[in-house]
């Protein structure tokens, strides 16, 4: 009898221990995943009844929660909605979350692992949970300047602190007002979403990070880096014919302007954005060399900015010689996001080292205790310091004497590269400008998808370079 009782007692104890272990595991280990599951309607209802954390630019809220007198008790709002929409995203009962509202949801809703102890205290005291505050890396002056300079033209602007990787500006156009989707009037929210989603200009798209486009002549920076890595110097002479026959085709490649002779230095080829010189250079270097260099800057990777998500920039896997020539001037199937091209400029400016872009500087608890602080991390080493210095000088020459003169700023060393990318023949060419400055330490990519002018008037130097100049000046 005693043995049977002991056996039953052991079984009961084991069952209780197992139950407690499972409950503890479910609360501690699975809570973040379950809480962040966008299909969990109970969690959605609970979240809409909590004081969600604030998102800041400096000390200014760009997303916050206000008490309201309805079934939820709190309303999410965006004081400068359209300006920061590509960053904050939206927080909607019907359409869940995007942007930082999604990637930082655990912190904002108070369910992250770093807030575990606070949740226990709140549970014990019966206090309503409060989400953490997200402090972004953005510079309000740069963000506003980029928005104003880009205006209503479709496109994007990305500015990075090239020494740390901190995102200082991230603008996309057209944009939208997240308040329209965050409203508790679900009928109005649905109507707004349907209208935005049906809009042919795609205001919900993030052109800065999540879409890729032909980079045009800004890709010549990548080819220049590959050329320097092969042993060339800025003074190396390269062929620059007025017209370059492409192998296997009957249509030669021409230049948009005078390159300065049939043989010029690599430095002058970048200064004049000489198509035939770079097409021939790409064929001489070979597809593998150009592709490898592009990958060192981040092409082919989707982890460029995990806090927002990013599309993979692409360089074709297989190319014949004619396709390689076109790819070497940023055409054919080469495509890049503005974020990726900002990273190219940043790596060159930072002596060859590309820093990991990041958007969140700090996470603070409701009592202002710092829970997390970002630490700059190296993304890749794209070039040697010596080659980066050479390419810096070449880019400064573009702004001083070449196609990027509209980016000049008195007292500031500015390097840049213009780009004009042909599209499908039906739409206007894209205008690009990739630049960096030494004061402030910022790298910028400007992309204008539709400049609203005649195709013959579109150029990166005329359309995009002044936008970069405005952002740099705003940060001084």
* Catalytic entry in 217, 310, 328, 470: 217
Query: From CA 395, how far away is CA 400, in angstroms rounded?
Result: 9
Query: From CA 353, how far away is CA 208, in angstroms rounded?
Result: 22
CB atoms within 10 A of CB 216: 28
Beta strands in 118-228 (DSSP E): 133-136, 155-161, 167-173
Query: From CA 182, how far away is CA 55, in angstroms rounded?
Result: 15
Q: Three-class SS of residue 223?
A: helix
How many residues comprise the chain? 476
Q: Is 243 a catalytic residue?
A: no
Q: Which of 205, 266, 209, 294 has its CA nearest to residue 402? A: 266
Query: From CA 163, how far away is CA 437, in angstroms rounded?
Result: 12
Distances from the Cα of 104 to the Cαs of 29, 47, 159, in angstroms?
18, 14, 21
Residue whose structure tokens are 């302007």: 257
**CA-atom Rg of the chain in angstroms:** 26
Q: Going by C-beta distance under 8 Å and a sequence separation of 6 or more, which residues neighbour residue 415?
A: 345, 348, 349, 392, 394, 395, 396, 398, 399, 435, 436, 437
Angle at 139 between CA 136 and CA 143, to 5 degrees: 105
Looking at the annotation, which residues are catalytic? Answer: 217
């Amino acid at each position: 009898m005693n043995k049977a009782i002991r056996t039953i007692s052991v079984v009961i104890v084991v069952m209780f221990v197992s139950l407690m272990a499972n409950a503890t595991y479910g609360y501690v280990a699975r809570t973040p995943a379950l809480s962040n599951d966008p299909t969990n309607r109970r969690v959605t209802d609970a979240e809409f009844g909590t004081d969600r954390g604030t998102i800041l630019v400096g000390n200014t809220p760009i997303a916050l929660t206000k008490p309201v007198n309805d079934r939820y008790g709190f309303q999410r709002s965006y004081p400068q909605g359209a300006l920061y929409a590509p960053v904050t995203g939206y927080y909607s009962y019907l359409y869940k979350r995007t942007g930082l509202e999604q990637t930082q949801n655990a912190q904002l809703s108070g369910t992250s692992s770093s807030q575990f102890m606070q949740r226990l205290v709140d549970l014990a005291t019966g206090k309503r949970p409060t989400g953490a505050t997200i402090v972004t890396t953005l510079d309000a002056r740069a963000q506003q300047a980029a928005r104003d300079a880009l205006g209503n033209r479709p496109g994007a602007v990305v500015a990075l602190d090239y020494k740390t990787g901190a995102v200082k500006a991230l603008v996309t156009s057209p944009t939208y007002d997240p308040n329209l989707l965050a409203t508790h009037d679900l009928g109005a929210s649905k109507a707004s979403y349907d209208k935005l989603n049906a809009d042919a200009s795609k205001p919900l798209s993030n052109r800065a990070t999540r879409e890729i486009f032909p980079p045009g002549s800004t890709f010549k920076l990548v080819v220049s880096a590959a050329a320097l890595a092969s042993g060339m110097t800025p003074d190396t002479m390269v062929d620059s014919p007025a017209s370059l026959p492409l192998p296997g085709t009957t249509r030669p490649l021409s230049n948009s302007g005078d390159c300065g002779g049939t043989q010029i230095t690599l430095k002058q080829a970048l200064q004049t954005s000489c198509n035939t010189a770079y097409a021939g250079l790409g064929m001489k270097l070979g597809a593998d060399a150009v592709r490898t260099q592009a990958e060192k800057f981040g092409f082919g990777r989707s982890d460029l900015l995990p806090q927002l998500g990013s599309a993979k920039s692409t360089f074709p896997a297989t190319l014949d010689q004619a396709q390689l020539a076109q790819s070497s001037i940023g055409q054919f199937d080469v495509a890049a996001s503005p974020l990726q091209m900002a990273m190219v400029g940043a790596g060159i400016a930072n002596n060859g080292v590309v820093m990991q872009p990041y958007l969140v500087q700090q996470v603070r608890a409701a009592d202002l205790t710092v829970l997390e602080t970002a630490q700059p991390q190296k993304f890749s080493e794209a070039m040697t310091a010596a080659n980066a210095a050479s390419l810096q000088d070449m880019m400064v020459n573009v702004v001083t004497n070449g196609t990027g003169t509209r980016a000049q700023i008195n007292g500031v060393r500015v390097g840049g590269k213009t780009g004009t990318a042909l599209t499908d023949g039906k739409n206007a060419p894209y205008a690009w400008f990739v630049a960096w400055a030494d004061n402030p330490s910022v790298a910028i990519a400007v992309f204008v998808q539709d400049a609203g002018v005649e195709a013959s008037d579109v150029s990166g130097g005329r359309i995009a370079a002044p936008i970069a100049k405005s952002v740099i000046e705003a940060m001084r």
